[in-house]
Amino acid sequence: MDFLYKRLFNASPSKILVLQPDRFEIIAVTDEYLKATATKESDIVGKTLFEVFRHCPFKE
């Protein structure tokens, strides 16, 4: 990710997760999102939502 874009993106106080729409791949997250979810960028960026969030609370 471009350095300037990354600085602007992370300046947001929002918890943002950006997905590649066709594959549901996580392509960017803000630092606030990482803090709120206690995750590391290297652990989730590049993976799909289904890889990162395997647990489904609605499934029995």
The pLDDT tens digits of the residues spanning 44-55 come to 999 999 898 887
Domain that includes residue 28, residue range: 3-52
Question: Above 80 in pLDDT, residue 37?
Answer: yes
Q: Are 48 and 25 in contact (CB under 8 A)?
A: yes
pTM: 0.77
Angular region, 46: left φ>0, alpha ψ -120 to 50, beta rest? left
11 within a domain of the structure (yes/no): yes
Q: Is residue 59 part of a domain?
A: no
The H helix count followed by the E strand count for the chain is: 4, 2
Q: 60 pLDDT band (50/70/90 cuts)?
A: low
In a domain, 60, yes or no: no
The answer to whether residue 27 sits within a structural domain is yes
Please report, for the domain that includes residue 44, its CATH number.
3.30.450.20
- One-letter amino acid at 10 equals N
Structurally, the chain folds into a number of domains equal to: 1
Report which residue type is found at 57: P
Identity of residue 33: Y
Q: Contact 13/32 with Cβ under 8 angstroms?
A: yes
